Amino acid sequence: MTLSNQMDLLYATIDEISGMYRRKEVSPVEVMKATLERLDEVEPQLNAFITVLAEQSLVEAKKAEEIFRKGEAAGKLTGIPISLKDIFSTKGIRTSMGSRILKDFVPEEDAYVYKALREAGAILFGKTNMLEFAFGFVHPDYGQTNNPWNVKRVAGGSSTGSGASVSAGIGYASIGTDTGGSIRAPGSFCGIIGLKPTYDLIPRTGCFPLSDTLDHVGLLTRTVKDNAIILEAISLQRFHYESIFTGDIDGVKVGIIRSLTDNVADPQIKSIVLAAIAKLGDLGAELLDVSVPFIENAEQIAIPILLSEASKHHAKWYEDRELDYSASTFANLKAGYDISAVAYLAALEQRRVLTEAVSEILTKVDVLVCPTFSFAATEKDPSFEQGNFDISSRTIPFNLTGHPALTVSAGNTISEPLPVGLEIIGRHLDESMVYRVAYAFEAATGGFKRPPL
């Protein structure tokens, strides 16, 4: 296999790889070996993985190869290499949470998503780097994950390694978590598809919690259809995803959240996003300006919920393990203990009001859109210290409301270039419409662009 052919293989879609398996044009073992070779090649620059399961994944690939050799029944994910954020329990496999405290933790049970992926035939080949306990900061023991578009910039957190690896052609999907934008950030920064589905559409069993109210399990892929294929396998709701991908959005009502779109300070980012929204109009969508009450206050609503719930989950270590946390993570845990029950309950009530407001608007439009972030990948992960959640002003509202939200690459800045994300938000349990709009845009704009790495 030549290098160019190997790269084409690594960047193929899940459907393409699955079809090649069935036609015996390539084997799961060959694909797994190519994936591991790509990982070895670029990992020194990316720092995307905490644990690599080379031997185990090759054994599983051999089993998948036998399934295709014998012509046995196989699903779309049979033999497909996939990674997991290192926040999901994997029986017998270290699960560190990107922390020093759990650096040697080996669970006795599997997380729901790992079980579901295995049952679908997917092969886990690695567990990805992440911000410490998914709380917004890199622990120095693990170091920053870098962006394949520019390794001097971050991949986006907290699902850092998941975004960087998928963008770099290391595996066909990665499962992450999103509490305030932690899937949509690496999706936007790395130029791939990142979906935070409807709250609890994917069970969180076996996923270490940050905030029970805001945590979502989601997924990162290079194409919209790949994303739907994975969601179909691991979510509680089944849908016929094939019918979604017609490219037709004629008459679909798209609500532009003006307060989150017009206030982007960087003219280059704003221009890219507005052009992407205009493209939806060119494709036949009806573009409507909308105003979402209270959405500008989303960070202030989320902070008491996130910080206090996170501190609860760390109570057993808080008194004795301060020096094992990164200083910034511990500062946030400390802040969580200063939040009163009154403030927490008031935030939950405000969350209910915001959820109702978003749901009401989504009775009048089919999806909402806005920039995913007002900036491209930065040199360091943006800081959440001292309650500064302004960086997530366009993502965290939908963690509060639980609506599905997907980021698709709107284009690249000219100066670097670096990807810029367009966020598409849908009704509860209407991932199908979100996918439909995202796919039409993806198809019209040429889809995933390979990074230079």
pLDDT tens digits along 242-265: 789 999 999 999 999 999 999 999
pLDDT score, position 383? 53
Beta-sheet strand order (sheet of 405-412): 49-52, 123-128, 81-85, 173-178, 216-221, 193-196, 405-412, 419-426, 367-371, 253-257, 286-290
Query: Helix (H, G, I), strand (E, B), or coil: what is residue 140?
Result: coil
> Based on C-alpha coordinates, what's the Rg of the chain?
21
CB 149 within 8 A of CB 417: yes
Q: Which residue type, as a one-letter code, is found at position 80?
A: I
pLDDT in tens, 151-210: 999 999 999 999 999 999 999 999 999 999 999 999 999 999 999 999 999 999 999 999
Q: Reduced to 3 DSSP states, what percent helix, strand and coil does the chain have, rounded to the nearest 5?
A: 45, 15, 40
pLDDT at residue 407, as a whole number: 98
CB 57 within 8 A of CB 124: yes
Pair 18, 76: CB distance under 8 Å? yes
CB atoms within 10 A of CB 53: 19
Where is 426: in which H helix or E strand? strand 419-426
Closest CA to 310 of 395, 384, 398, 404: 384
pLDDT value, residue 337: 97
Give the residue extent of every domain in the chain. Answer: 3-445
- For position 97, what pLDDT does the model report? 98
* CA nearest to 160, candidates 180, 178, 182, 175: 182
Is the preceding peptide bond at 382 cis, omega within 30 degrees of 0? Answer: no
Type of residue at 254: V
Q: What is the pLDDT of residue 386?
A: 41
DSSP secondary structure, 213-273, as one string: TT-EEEEEESSHHHHHHHHHHHSSS---GGGGTT---TT-EEEEEHHHHTT---HHHHHHH
How much is the pTM?
Answer: 0.97
Nearest to 381 by CA among 144, 140, 44: 144
Q: What is the largest CA-CA distance in the chain?
A: 63
Looking at residue 1, its pLDDT comes to 56
Give pLDDT, residue 441: 98
Annotated active-site residue 85? The verdict is: yes
Structure token digits, residue 443: 């198809």
Q: Which of 6, 5, 20, 164 is nearest to 85 (CA)?
A: 164
| Annotation marks residue 158 as catalytic | yes
Question: Which of 57, 158, 374, 393 is the catalytic position?
Answer: 158
Out of 18, 57, 83, 85, pick the active-site residue. Answer: 85
For 362-405, write each residue's pLDDT tens digit.
999 999 999 999 999 999 876 544 444 458 999 999 999 999 99
> Catalytic annotation on 432?
no
> Class of 3-445 per CATH?
alpha beta
- pLDDT lower than 50: segments of the chain: 384-389
Compute the distance between CA of residue 341 and CA of residue 338 in angstroms, rounded to an integer. 10
Catalytic residue of the set 57, 99, 182, 374: 182
* Residue 117: both structure tokens together: 């992926």
User: How much is the pLDDT for 390?
Assistant: 54
